Amino acid sequence: MFSLALSLLAAGGLFVGGVMLWAVCKHFLTVDIPAAIGHPVKLRVLDCLFLLLFTWGSIFEKLGICSLPRFVRFVHDLAVLRKDPDLMVTDLHFGTIPVKLYQPRAASSSLRKGIIFFHGGGVIFGSLKTHHGICCHLSKESDSVVLAIGYRKAPDYKFPIPLRDCFVATIHFLKSPKTYGVDPARVVVCGDSIGGTAAAIICQKLLNRPDLPKIRAQILIYAALQALNFQLPSYQQNRKVPLLSRNLYFYCWHVYLGISPSWESAIKNGAHLPAKVWAKYGKWMGSENIPERFKRGYQPKPPAPVNEDAYLETSVILDVINSPLIAEDDVIAQLPETCIVSCEYDFLRDHSLLYKKRLEDLKVPVTWHHMEDGFHGVLNTIDMGYLYFPCSSRILNAIVSFLKCL
């Protein structure tokens, strides 16, 4: 009996070791680390850990134990949250939607700015816990009240449920901001990655709501802002750069929108949209709108002939709630002051550049911060100890400076 237990233990150890070896080998075979990124070893370690988590999630999914996203979220939420004595953090529910409220403990002679924060994670990863440190920093350093929204996620809740949760929670907060010590005239929406997408969409959709306070500003941190053109320079340059590779982006995209992965090739080649769509929106999202300095090694590729079946299944991307970049001029022109953060080695970098141009062309004030050594997801390293990247502090400092000027 003892020898059997020992054999099983040894086999288990070998299996675990094999999974770790697989994750490390996959990293070195599939990932590019640009020379200009500071602390490349840290990024390799961080990506290996992420791939290990992803691999275990895939194993549990194949065994029917739980889905890959659910496993990753479970592990993320094992983290112990850091307490800041200068902040009061309260867990609330707006209906069934969990939120976290961050309030400075120091007394204030007036109502504070309010920041409605939507966390990133591709609508399948991320949680209120993964972005707790970011929200603490924002609240403390800018002396603001931060409301973080814990929307439901795919694959259990696909489009449009996560976005609907963000809308519901935002509207609930905006109906009585003074209850939380917030000045109705100084409410900002903010988010990273898909959270930035939510912030941009909500800012657009609430423009003509006379029953609610107007959003004072929007802060978009390497946000995903269009789902039409997959031949932009950053897609070619950064397709293998962690923490958001092209493969991971499409995985999240398919899971959230419920679009079959079988259309991935057609989508990448532009065959998912007819010529009339490219003619209508090309003026806003063509590579000619990207500054030349971002086009190193770029090889333009015209869209392939339309695949009508792919178009029928993917046409949901033409809705502005999936592609806020393609909203009409009369909508974009009404948007409030905007802070945009982009990272050089981000698969989604050009989304920020295109949206910045649209806003500026229509005279919307834009503050732009570009991180020359940044990559997608770097902000989340702010409280990761050894895996901390100085770029994360520069992003937060830039955002805080923007907030203090409002």
Catalytic residues: 193, 346, 376
Write the DSSP string, 312-368: HHHGGGGSTTT-GGG--HHHHTT--EEEEEEEEE-TTHHHHHHHHHHHHHTT--EEE
Q: Could you give the CA distance from residue 88 to residue 371 in angstroms, rounded to a whole number?
A: 31
Q: Which parts of 33-181 are beta strand (E)? A: 87-94, 97-104, 112-118, 144-149
C-alpha angle 361-198-95 in degrees, rounded to nearest 5: 145
Contact (CB, 8 A) for 123 and 164:
no
**How many C-beta atoms lie closer than 10 Å to residue 260's C-beta?**
10
Write the DSSP string, 7-67: HHHHHHHHHHHHHHHHHHHHHHHH----TTSS-HHHHHHHHHHHHHHHHHHHHHHHTTSS-
Distances (CA, A) of 38 to 48, 64, 95, 192, 278: 17, 40, 44, 21, 38
Q: Could you give the CA distance from residue 269 to residue 349 in angstroms, rounded to a whole number?
A: 19
DSSP annotation of 6: H
C-alpha angle 154-95-207 in degrees, rounded to nearest 5: 80
Which H helix or E strand runs over 214?
none
Contact (CB, 8 A) for 314 and 250:
no
Q: Could you give the CA distance from residue 97 to residue 260 in angstroms, rounded to a whole number?
A: 29
Contact (CB, 8 A) for 45 and 387:
yes
Give which of 98, 196, 220 is closest to 147, Cα–Cα: 98
Q: Which residue has 């994670």 as its token pair?
A: 121
Contact (CB, 8 A) for 89 and 145:
no
